[in-house]
Structure 1
Amino acid sequence: MSEASGGAVSSGGAAAESDRTGGAAAPGGPSYESGGEPPARARVDLVLRSTRVVTPTGVRPATVHVADGRIAEVLPHAAPAPAGARRVELGDDALLPGLVDTHVHVNDPGRAHWEGFASATRAAAAGGITTLVDMPLNSVPPTTTVSHLARKRAVAGPKVLVDVGFWGGAVPDNLAELRALHAAGVFGFKSFLSPSGVDEFPHLTRAQLAAVLDELAAIDGLFLVHAEDPHHLASAPPASGPRYADFLASRPRSVEGEAIAALIAAARASGGRVHLLHLSSGEALPMIAAARRAGVRITVETCPHFLTLAAEEVPDGATEFKCCPPIREAANQDLLWQGLREGVIDCVVSDHSPSTPELKTGDFGTAWGGISSLQLGLPAVWSAARARGHDLADVARWMSTAPAALAGLTAKGAIAPGRDADFAVLAPEQTFTVDAARLHHRNRVTAYAGRTLHGVVRSTWLRGTRIAQDGQPSAPAAGRLLTRR
């Protein structure tokens, strides 16, 4: 990459960019709605040119003009730069829309020693993510009331390097709070159908699930569900000891299948919008596809670890691989990729759920369940996608466009006029070996340590400002707090 503000510029590969990135927003910034129009007649101040720009119509050579933090035009590759505009020549590095990760557990306040907004958003920026939406747990307090939301926003505001929105939580005792939280700008509501792992965020019974769906259907609110059935969990062999096979047996596919069936039935009865979180069981896909054909309003996500890691590879005692629902066998992984190809699965998001290292004991029964992958999702998914015949447009759709649409972030998710100038610059053919010491999330435990991946994130841009380069965050806290429009 190379850059200039005038004269001819070579596009000769990986030359360093200039450190001049323009002004940043005030720390924390103002609240920022999820949509909006670009400023009228704004002067183009930034031009990015690549032979591989990932647009909604495919990957092609193009020049992208940026004005006041928004994409003004996407033009042919040879289009001239306006006088005085800063120019960044990316050569053959790919220009993707900034990733949107709608499933991140930041845990701040209350458990910031697990993960905080500063460390999480630095990891996001290093990995090409420009927007994340924070889950309502495992912070203390959880985001289940307007006052709890206000506290979380106050903590996050001065720290965020990328744009951050918030999901609310629906728990047994806060039904009366949901409309107020919706009005306060959360993007939707998350619940568990089985124990969440933290006492302050209890799960819903079937009757409570129906009540929440009825309440949210009345305001067309989005309902996100961790679908594992507590009765099937109780009847499965308990998880105990270091053997991954024993942990996998404790959460069979039927645990997901039964809960998903109940969710579909409740959604059909209410007419509400539901989103199935972190699908791990490929056996559920035909049931989901049939529900959609019948008019049930259901969307689905899966995660990089389910698409790239397999149960057969997990060493005994390696609880950095533990998550719930679990990483399943390679044959099941093939079904998930088929679900992506067929459009039954909409999104690929991280479910980044870190903890302190001491909670990752060698016993799969007692270790904290969560995969830390915020910085690595793009190369992990791209490595597997390219091997299965997918292109960068597919990856951008799964990891940027679809998550942005899920949350209603109409200014995000595509390289198109009027959208925010949020970009990830990727060297798709370059490989690297994951070194946990180079990761930016707070506790550097990851299931990807030592794996060789394709796709090096060269730089990340938020509203036309470069916020990370070559794996290192390079800007102050320039992110904004997002609210549902």
Structure 2
Amino acid sequence: MTFSLRSRQVYLPGGPRPATVTVDGGRIAAVSDHDAPVAGPVTDLGPLSLLPGLVDTHVHVNEPGRTEWEGFATATRAAAAGGVTSIVDMPLNSLPPTTSVAALREKQAAARGQCHVDVGFWGGAVPGNAAELPALHEAGVFGFKSFLVDSGVPEFPPLDRAGLAEAFAAVDALFIVHAEDPARLGALSASRAYAEFLASRPPAAEVSAVDTALAVARESGTRLHILHLSAADALPALRRARADGMRVTAETCPHYLVLDAAAVPDGATEFKCCPPIRDAGNQDRLWGGLADGTIAIVVSDHSPSTPQLKRRDIGDFAAAWGGIASLQLGLPAVWTAARERGFTLADVVRWMSTGPAHLVGLHRKGRIAPGADADLVAFAPDETFVVDPAALHHRHPVTPYAARELSGVVHTTWLRGTVVADEPTGELLLREDVL
């Protein structure tokens, strides 16, 4: 079926302008002037902006094995409601973790027929599986995640420096690293005080681990991506590495750009994540990293668990699971903060759609251009809403954004030209060079 969408603000690769976007067979067939005559039905979006669907390359779906924490049906429904049309699932906290081809096949089988958006997969690099990595890469994962610190689950242990070097040498692939140095972490006993939790995971732990990852990548020439950067103190090392020509990128997350450690109430374990939410001065410097391109993308690190594991009953930051569920709220959260700092919606599209698609080589995603998938979002940037946890689609209504007023409302999400509704129509994605 051929149809067109018309908007005064279509976010194209060259910037926003009035345009008509024609869709045919699930792809964008043409981008025309706003008033150009086109074949087939036309929907005028009126005051709504038309964005490319967001691409979130950092999502923990947790299925199979821990589906009570989340799951493909609930996570992808939340994604679509937030304007996200493609996600890449992390290799943990599912059981089994995605550290072998057999485990990947289990995860793909669990996802098939449940997804409301398109879903790809990361592989995992853990001690002892370096020999598995080439086959897993050939099977279509987008790259490999490793931890330099305890992951929180025993089946996905961390790599030391030698293990990281062994993994990097095993396959020519994109490696994504959770960079915290366990030797720089402080002890944390039972505590309701967020300040004590924050002090136990200082910026020095991130800086040290980023330095380690950069040193190993420099020796091997590996393409490296630093996950969920929280500590702005690591930015100078990343800038130097990029200036030296290293293939290194970094991401941060909405909670690091929006939430402030000083405003986290004691006992409010819904705010716990690792690395942690830091102070406002640090946050300002992260925005500076986005402005100068040192940080390339913003993704959710959607890491949900059951309310019981968040230990909201006792408010103990030492005992609580560390993860924030924000897949549905990332776009309005980032847009609300970005516009206050003078950034544009085009910047947000670059950080949350085009950039993540480029990171993982999804060349038909993240842009409104002829030949691209018709993954589109009708978005009202000036509308506001108050976050009601009960209105969120992820499995458990736990969020640090509860009762916060945000700007930007997703009205409609199209996946390959079809409005995302109750029927799951998402496809499983493979790295494009193995298709």
Does TM, scored on the shorter chain, surpass 0.5?
yes
- The answer as to whether partners of 1:161 and 1:476 remain within 8 angstroms in 2 is yes
Provide the aligned length of Structure 1 versus Structure 2: 429
The alpha carbon displacement at 1:239 in A equals 5.0
Aligned to 2:407: 454
Mapped to 2, the partners of 1:286 and 1:311 lie a distance apart of 23
Aligned to 2:117: 162
Aligned to 1:23: none
Matches within 5 A, 1:123-142: 123-142=78-97
Where do 5+ consecutive residues of structure 2 fail to align?
none
Residue 427 of structure 1, aligned match among 356, 377, 380: 380
Residue 34 of structure 2, aligned match among 67, 72, 77: 77
* Counterpart check, 1:409 vs 2:362: yes
* Counterpart check, 1:347 vs 2:297: yes
Mapped to 2, the partners of 1:327 and 1:424 lie a distance apart of 29
* Counterpart check, 1:317 vs 2:267: yes
- The answer as to whether partners of 1:466 and 1:475 remain within 8 angstroms in 2 is no
Aligned to 2:12: 55
The alpha carbon displacement at 1:86 in A equals 2.6
Aligned to 1:376: 329
- SS class of match (1:482): coil
**AA aligned opposite 2:175:** F
The more displaced of 131-140 and 294-303 is 294-303
Aligned to 2:199: 249
**AA aligned opposite 1:307:** L
Aligned to 1:264: 214
The alpha carbon displacement at 1:238 in A equals 2.1
- SS class of match (2:354): helix
Mapped to 2, the partners of 1:324 and 1:201 lie a distance apart of 16
Mapped to 1, the partners of 2:103 and 2:94 lie a distance apart of 10
- The answer as to whether partners of 1:306 and 1:328 remain within 8 angstroms in 2 is yes
Mapped to 2, the partners of 1:425 and 1:281 lie a distance apart of 34
**AA aligned opposite 1:196:** S
The alpha carbon displacement at 1:475 in A equals 3.5
Aligned to 1:213: 168
Mapped to 1, the partners of 2:45 and 2:389 lie a distance apart of 28
The alpha carbon displacement at 1:425 in A equals 1.1
Mapped to 1, the partners of 2:422 and 2:413 lie a distance apart of 10
Q: Show structure 1 runs of 4+ deviating over 4 A.
A: none
Aligned to 1:174: 129
Aligned to 2:176: 224
Aligned to 2:188: 238
The more displaced of 441-450 and 236-245 is 236-245
The more displaced of 397-406 and 238-247 is 238-247
Aligned to 1:443: 396
Aligned to 2:424: 477
* Counterpart check, 1:275 vs 2:225: yes
The alpha carbon displacement at 1:424 in A equals 1.3
**AA aligned opposite 1:211:** E
**AA aligned opposite 1:476:** E
* Counterpart check, 1:395 vs 2:348: yes
- The answer as to whether partners of 1:228 and 1:259 remain within 8 angstroms in 2 is yes
- The answer as to whether partners of 2:131 and 2:170 remain within 8 angstroms in 1 is no
Residues 387/239 of structure 1: CA separation in 2 closer, same or farther (3 Å cut): farther
Aligned to 2:143: 188
- SS class of match (2:357): helix
* Counterpart check, 1:365 vs 2:318: yes
**AA aligned opposite 2:256:** F
* Counterpart check, 1:103 vs 2:55: no
Mapped to 1, the partners of 2:359 and 2:145 lie a distance apart of 13
Rg comparison, structure with higher value: 1
- SS class of match (1:125): helix
Where do 5+ consecutive residues of structure 1 fail to align?
1-43, 468-473
The alpha carbon displacement at 1:53 in A equals 0.5
- The answer as to whether partners of 1:209 and 1:266 remain within 8 angstroms in 2 is yes
- SS class of match (1:150): helix
The alpha carbon displacement at 1:457 in A equals 0.5
Residue 294 of structure 1, aligned match among 220, 244, 255: 244
CA RMSD of aligned residues (A): 0.8
The alpha carbon displacement at 1:211 in A equals 0.9
